[in-house]
Structure 1
Amino acid sequence: MTTITRGAAMIAAAAATALILTGCSGTSGASDPTDVDPDGEVVPREISWLLSRPADGGVITAMEQIADEYAEDHPGFGLNLITTPDRPSYIQKYETLAAANKLPELFDTDATPFARKLAEQGRMVDVDALLEDLGLADDYREAALNYQRFDDGSLYMVPFEFQLEYFWYNAELLDRAGVSVPATLDDFPAMCEALRAKGITPIALDGQDQWPLERYMAYYPFRLAGPEYVQQLKTGDASFADPAGRAAAEWLSSLGRAGCFQEGFSSTGYADAQALFTSGKAAVYNIGTWELSNLATDSLDEGVRDTVDYFTLPTIDGAVTDDNEYVTPSGIGMAVNSQTYDPLVRDFLAFALERYPEVYAATGALSPTTTAATTVPDNATPLYTRAIEQADSVGPRIAMPWDTQLDPATNTRLQQELTLLVQGDITPDEFIATMDATLAENADG
């Protein structure tokens, strides 16, 4: 869900340049990234984890408990959590530390071009090799691992979450407008027009944070060309003028013309967008299972509780991806610094990754593994269980969030132009021309 300001993008770009320039010296002290079982004694000390997660979230809470358990048998051990929940600020810190060759033992990262450079320089432990060595490789959901992989299939990040992104909808409002759940993406404009005609806001959108609208940009290309399109786009081997990109631009423009999103969507924040849906004022809300406690428990307003349901990403005619393949992220991953990797880090990870699924699933969240059943809260509606169970039937290909794929400068410009496109301030042709020029300037070819 990365949202990077122009200034932050410039800082990140500078850090990336510094990393490239210091790449050779930065790898001089690195161990072999595939040497996941180093010789030596386990000597307890404090290790650090540079994070970008909510301080009171399930991941940190679970890992703090696990670290305390490990310390009971390893006096002198401590896990220092360096937390920066604000993602743009985190990226600046992470890339600056990387450029200075001062990353801690563990650090959060998406599978970005920047992270790929770190891996190529031998500065991250091979997680495929690590999980295999620990005997845990088969425990993980295929989609959870695939979300963390680089385009070549290599794996350098450990997932700690697993989410499914759905279109939540109010069945009563759709019935009032005489429309059904859209069978295809092309059915969205007509659905929106029918809802508008009844005075109903069709889709609640957090436009202020920009990443939710960028999700919509990813949908049509994923169905039309598969996950390969954005992989080729970020390297300059594809363009926005290609059929998949043009189809997406025209679809987003059609959503704007149909009034799909609330008035003033670009200034609506996360909480206000959610409230539009949970109060029964909007018919559809696209968000992930991290919001189950607000959408599928008795905390949801009684007036809409029994009419809320969900559907998964609709298909299109001629789709190359399956219906059970959509946005199924496993969150920001944790990388292991190969330069500081030693018997203690390995021993702690062996304990933590074995223990984590049970502790995390007990919070009511989906584990990235299939080894721990989610504890459904007592106040859950039947929808909670159904949404969780669907995790067992998702396909291997993922509609990747584009904000984790594109370089910061291109991503920032894309978010800005998408708002203008949906508002009708620019045409699809103008959008495509601007974005292809931006891509040509910044693509990591």
Structure 2
Amino acid sequence: MTPRMPSRVLITASAAALTITLSACGSSGRTAAGGSGDGTLAWALTQGSEATFRASATEWNKEHPDAKINYQYFQNDPFKQKLRTAVGAGNGPMLFENWGGGGLKSYVDAGKVADLTSDLDASPEWKNRIFPSVLKSTTFDGKVYGVPVNGVQPVVLYYNKELLEKAGAQPPKTWDDLLALVKKLKAEGLAPISMGGASKWPDLMWLEYLVDRVGGPEIFANIAAGKKDAWSDPAVLKAAQMIEQLVDAGGFAKGFTSVSADTGQAEAQLYTGKAAMILQGSWGYGTINTGSPKFVSEGHLGWTGFPAVTGGRGDATNIVGNPANFFSLSSQASAKEKKTAVSYLKDGVYNDTYVDNLLKNGDVPPVKDLDAKLKATDNADWTTYVYTLARDAKSFQLSWDQALTPELGNELLTRLDQLFLGQISPKEFCSQMDKAAAK
């Protein structure tokens, strides 16, 4: 799940058609031409933190003309396959954005990612300003293979205040509240929830939160550990049944399975008044603010945590999402490329200008001593909310499609999509995932 991300070099013509380059790209090698032709190429995601990356590269390249960083941008879904293909063929980018977890570990196990532990240890100021909990997502066997490059990304429930007021309703605090709100909104002729179902990964946010709220974080811990029949745990089955219940109740906007999550369509339904709510990561704030600054500035956007489930074992402060997106370095980087990349990650990422740009876009970086900057932002209510949410969460679960192996993550998205479409039952979902996990 999640907005999402990475980067590198030689790409096919079809991949090139999806990129938006900061500067002209070379046709071969592991660098991109940018005057001197020695730029280190980074692959990153469109939307999300793209504006910050662009500003950062402009600033960095002006100050370091002989050690440039050249970004190329991809939409989320095509990106993952392009990265897998490029890295597997040995001609991927030198820096690539990723979510850590199982996806990154597969590259690490294949020897494709450079160990950054010694670089971090050599610069305590760099290492110590990052929340230790965030680095856990890129740490395997005590070695660090990626550093965060944007903000913490908890998934929250956004809502259109005007539409809830029209229905005489408040944001839901419990699952029962949500079901009652769906009924009330439909009675007013309003679509309750927007979702980019065509991209599949937004479906996962609902399952992640419901499994946590029903059974607590240990349920997914068993799944991630490969415990036999973990997908048939009563909490997973119950969560799948609750998803079925919400779909059958008409909880999602008509045609949600054909709406893309990578183009801002789902968020647009919220700020144009076509849907009352959307469950989305914190990156959604930036998408909404870009799409309709007036909607945000006039105070029409609201947000709240995922509803509690009565009788459930999960703590209401638990959150899911991405602790951050990360940049990892190719193990094939030359000495010069590595020097440029590490220098940029250490001094170009999370410097004052970079942090200010993140905060301006609603992104809250996982760095210490941020209170003064948060209070000074125009959107202090939002940034402080996200910072507090991440800081106080008893559990911050990495998105399942990133925590699991790429193969199992893809299977999960396929089966979950079928559940939302009503093509398989909750019991079939659980049994099919158990079979996939046993392979």
Gaps of 5+ in 2: 5-35
Q: 1:218 aligns with which of 199, 208, 218?
A: 208
Structure 1, residues 330-366: CA drift from partner, whole Å, max 9, x if none?
4432112345464773475245423421222222132
Tell me if structure 2 keeps the 8 A contact 1:217–1:252. yes
TM-superposed deviation, 1:374: 5.2
Structure-1 residue corresponding to 2:129 = 139
Structure-1 residue corresponding to 2:305 = 312
Matches of 1:392 and 1:440, distance apart in 2: 33
Structure 1, residues 48-91: CA drift from partner, whole Å, max 9, x if none?
3341322991342144135325525xxx433344x251344433
Structure-1 residue corresponding to 2:238 = 247
Matches of 2:185 and 2:266, distance apart in 1: 17
With normalisation by structure 1, the TM-score equals 0.74
Q: 2:196 aligns with which of 190, 200, 206?
A: 206
Structure 1, residues 135-194: CA drift from partner, whole Å, max 9, x if none?
1222113453344445x6753211101133321123443344454332233543232123
Measured at CA, do residues 341 and 297 of structure 1 come closer, stay the same or move farther in structure 2, by a change above 3 Å?
closer
Q: 2:256 aligns with which of 252, 257, 265?
A: 265
Measured at CA, do residues 275 and 304 of structure 1 come closer, stay the same or move farther in structure 2, by a change above 3 Å?
farther
Matches of 2:389 and 2:142, distance apart in 1: 22
Q: Which piece of structure 1 moves more, 105-114 or 395-404?
A: 105-114
Measured at CA, do residues 51 and 232 of structure 1 come closer, stay the same or move farther in structure 2, by a change above 3 Å?
farther
Matches of 1:420 and 1:96, distance apart in 2: 26
1:146-157 map, 5 Å: 146-149=136-139, 155-157=144-146
1:67-82 map, 5 Å: 67-71=60-64, 76-81=66-71
Tell me if structure 2 keeps the 8 A contact 1:70–1:348. no
**1:401 maps onto 2:399 in alignment:** yes
More strand by share: 2
**1:52 maps onto 2:44 in alignment:** yes
Tell me if structure 2 keeps the 8 A contact 1:227–1:397. yes
Matches of 1:275 and 1:347, distance apart in 2: 39
**1:292 maps onto 2:282 in alignment:** no
Measured at CA, do residues 391 and 178 of structure 1 come closer, stay the same or move farther in structure 2, by a change above 3 Å?
closer
Amino-acid identity (%): 24
Structure-1 residue corresponding to 2:99 = 110
**1:361 maps onto 2:351 in alignment:** no
Structure-2 residue corresponding to 1:336 = 329
Q: SS at the partner of 1:183?
A: coil
Matches of 2:271 and 2:161, distance apart in 1: 13
After the TM superposition, list the runs of 4 or more consecutive aligned residues in structure 1 that deviate by more than 6 angstroms: 375-378
Structure-1 residue corresponding to 2:119 = 130
Q: SS at the partner of 1:189?
A: helix
How many matched pairs? 396
Matches of 1:63 and 1:291, distance apart in 2: 21
Gaps of 5+ in 1: 5-43
Q: 2:317 aligns with which of 324, 348, 354?
A: 324
Matches of 1:112 and 1:302, distance apart in 2: 35
Greater Rg, structure 1 or structure 2?
1
TM-superposed deviation, 1:234: 4.7
Whichever residue aligns with residue 247 of structure 2, its letter is G
Tell me if structure 1 keeps the 8 A contact 2:271–2:292. no
Q: SS at the partner of 2:122?
A: helix
Structure 1, residues 181-219: CA drift from partner, whole Å, max 9, x if none?
322335432321232223221111111211111111111
1:35-46 map, 5 Å: 46=38
Q: 2:226 aligns with which of 221, 236, 242?
A: 236
Q: 2:74 aligns with which of 67, 79, 85?
A: 85
Q: SS at the partner of 2:197?
A: coil
Matches of 1:224 and 1:154, distance apart in 2: 34
Q: SS at the partner of 1:327?
A: strand
Whichever residue aligns with residue 156 of structure 1, its letter is Y
Matches of 1:253 and 1:154, distance apart in 2: 41
**1:430 maps onto 2:428 in alignment:** yes
Matches of 1:311 and 1:356, distance apart in 2: 29
Tell me if structure 2 keeps the 8 A contact 1:181–1:311. yes
